[in-house]
Structure 1
């Protein structure tokens, strides 16, 4: 067995990439790296199928690549899977680069095939040179620790068994076993950022450090270990200071600020919701400021409230008014909430039993059906239970210390032209259960996630 195959087997075992009896799906472009991966795994006795993506970006070359990989699979007598993409069109529709579109299309399709055909993992043929290019590109574009470890040996259902090797080692193995492969002529063009780094930047860096690939590999391994340590600390902080419920994520401001280097922990939490480093810094600065400031990512928004930073989706659906009939038992609200309605025979003697923070109790016989369930509006008023005069709902919610995001989700129950209850909060005085009540309408707000 060659030294290359020894190193390949050792790398697979050291990183527990897969077991000897696992079926693998190899992503094969037809280039040197993927051909070497396929040949190496075949010589080591691993079982696999081959998948090829034709992105239709290079005309006849793309067709020749497809034909070559099909023949390669036939020579190995393994299953062959093919997918053709109109990559340029899809990239334009998605408003992303062609490279990003190709990457997303490729991995989505490979995962689909892996799942459908029962393969344990998708194997990609990245090597040390790819790792160096990735780290440098991440550094130029801006990155955190994850960008410095570059490409991981194992990530979800994707494994990369060639990360131990340089391109030169792969070429030597190919020459020893007289392998054929396809050359992608676009690799010589500096039109793409990765090619520019490969063809121009790395040669200069190697004049400073001829062992650049090995140095970067060692650095990436150390960074990956450090990232795992910090990830555990972040999870510990989240367990103490982050809560989820009622459709919101809340971060205890004072609690998080008590941590040394709190900004790092805050950003580690916020980046899961698409917030950038610069926005995370502004959020941290807001901790000592007044309530009400809102920050945005592409998908979420964050409110600085009195004691918490509250995260919600950026786009919030509007609740469409619903008519409530005497026969209505359940109404599905937005944000994972359900309103359960129940008619009970009885009066004041039931209040102690039925009373809860999530329920409002109303005198059924004072209501005029159909009732209307709707979002509250500026200018709405009602007489809260226990009070005599009218109060604006906006003022009531402020006094009850509802956050801006929570207010957006408040719905009211209306009988005729009068608001009889704020659902999940307070009934109206005129419609509350009293001495003369004979029947009670229980409106219970339930969160089902």
Structure 2
């Protein structure tokens, strides 16, 4: 198996050969074989072991076994003990999900602290089959049918092309010692039930089942790559990014068929899961929005606006009478001038005597209104934004310069008629926004 392992490394994982690696080792036969193969292949490794304290004395004996294995190969070992039951009580989900979360969070932390390139786990072909069947039973797309990926960012699975039988036979041939996890024989867990009852029946019905499954996985991975390449091309054409915000033309998006399949592929990486809501946004009223845990998607007339979620600020900032410059929340330069120059969107000229200090910088709020320069009457700011075709996210980021409760300047867009310079003005104040 060592020869086949090295061929697999050369063909699929050559980037591991000179990398710094964490090897997750539970003490079971799979991770023990992975450890032996890595050492024999000359990899630079650190063993990592999680003691989840779920099986009493057995858990502690697993830990001691891994420590001895590390000592045998003269490699560093890192061990962490978890109160998994307590964690599960305080978080939604099963014991298995809690252990998985704790394990990978710790691995990621170690990788960052130790500047580790990759984390190796001992998942193999049978594990991938079990994942395939679990996902199939729950309803899934092509990602779920592809089983366990050989690589997921820093997580790499170099045994994914080998069967459990191959790994076990190698361990026996080499007289390796390993630990047996008694919980693996409990069929109350779905994965164990598939491993112990369903997968053996499939292999019995078709002796070449696992070999054929492996080939199917290759075809699915290749198909998935084609889809990803196509979706990336579609994104290049449709997703227009400016200042960290992405605009997507709704008409062009709606023309893609099959529509829901495209929406899934285009927006899944942003954490959206309620696909009927995403679909409904195409024909929703302007201003309608939906959220994932990390992003928001807003309908804005002819576009969908995609952005990362930010905490909405309701802070106010004061500008004192003698203040000549601000940097927070936006850069403003304030000066007295003798004459007015030709106007520009980022510059406003005001009658200083009409202002009440301190001036206030704040975001716009529902119900705000002002008297747009050049007009006699007042206008709601929401109506002004609509007429000016200001998108939803730009509105949220809009800053106002205020004198008391009155808006003096919708910064960068329009000043207020009440504060304009006229024939009676004695002191002209020039304010420049350098955003």
Corresponding residue for 1:351? 342
Could you tell me whether the CA contact under 8 Å between 1:26 and 1:48 is conserved in 2? yes
Could you tell me whether the CA contact under 8 Å between 2:407 and 2:416 is conserved in 1? yes
Corresponding residue for 1:439? 428
Q: Does 1:272 pair with 2:273?
A: no
RMSD: 2.5
Cα distance, 1:416–1:364 mapped onto 2, change above 3 Å = same
How far the C-alpha of 1:116 sits from its partner, in A, is 3.2
Q: Deviations over 1:156-188 (max 9, x none)?
A: 222211112111111110110111100000111
Corresponding residue for 1:415? 403
Give unpaired runs (5+ residues) of structure 2. none
Corresponding residue for 1:110? 107
Corresponding residue for 2:10? 13
Aligned pairs, number: 433
How far the C-alpha of 1:133 sits from its partner, in A, is 0.9
How far the C-alpha of 1:111 sits from its partner, in A, is 3.0
Comparing 190-199 with 253-262, which one deviates more in the overlay?
253-262
Q: Does 1:161 pair with 2:152?
A: no
Corresponding residue for 1:426? 414
Q: Deviations over 1:394-421 (max 9, x none)?
A: 2222222334454444342221332212
Could you tell me whether the CA contact under 8 Å between 1:247 and 1:312 is conserved in 2? yes
Match of 1:308 among 291, 303, 307: 303
Give unpaired runs (5+ residues) of structure 1. 333-337
Corresponding residue for 2:325? 329
Corresponding residue for 2:84? 87
Cα distance, 1:230–1:348 mapped onto 2, change above 3 Å = farther
Corresponding residue for 1:389? 377
Q: Does 1:340 pair with 2:335?
A: no
Could you tell me whether the CA contact under 8 Å between 2:125 and 2:162 is conserved in 1? yes
Cα distance, 1:21–1:379 mapped onto 2, change above 3 Å = closer
Corresponding residue for 2:357? 369
Corresponding residue for 2:38? 41
How far the C-alpha of 1:328 sits from its partner, in A, is 6.1
Cα distance between partner residues in 2 of 1:118 and 1:417: 53
How far the C-alpha of 1:362 sits from its partner, in A, is 3.5
Corresponding residue for 2:286? 291
Match of 1:146 among 143, 148, 165: 143
How far the C-alpha of 1:50 sits from its partner, in A, is 1.1
Q: Deviations over 1:86-142 (max 9, x none)?
A: 122223323233222222221222233334334432111111001111112222233
Cα distance, 1:416–1:119 mapped onto 2, change above 3 Å = closer
Cα distance, 1:127–1:395 mapped onto 2, change above 3 Å = same
Q: Deviations over 1:47-77 (max 9, x none)?
A: 3221111111111111000000000101111
Cα distance, 1:363–1:201 mapped onto 2, change above 3 Å = farther
Cα distance between partner residues in 2 of 1:228 and 1:255: 24
Q: Does 1:320 pair with 2:309?
A: no
Q: TM-score, normalised to structure 1's length? A: 0.88
Could you tell me whether the CA contact under 8 Å between 2:46 and 2:75 is conserved in 1? yes
Cα distance between partner residues in 1 of 2:205 and 2:433: 70
Cα distance, 1:218–1:328 mapped onto 2, change above 3 Å = farther
Q: Deviations over 1:12-52 (max 9, x none)?
A: 11103434333322110000100111112222333322111
Q: Does 1:399 pair with 2:390?
A: no
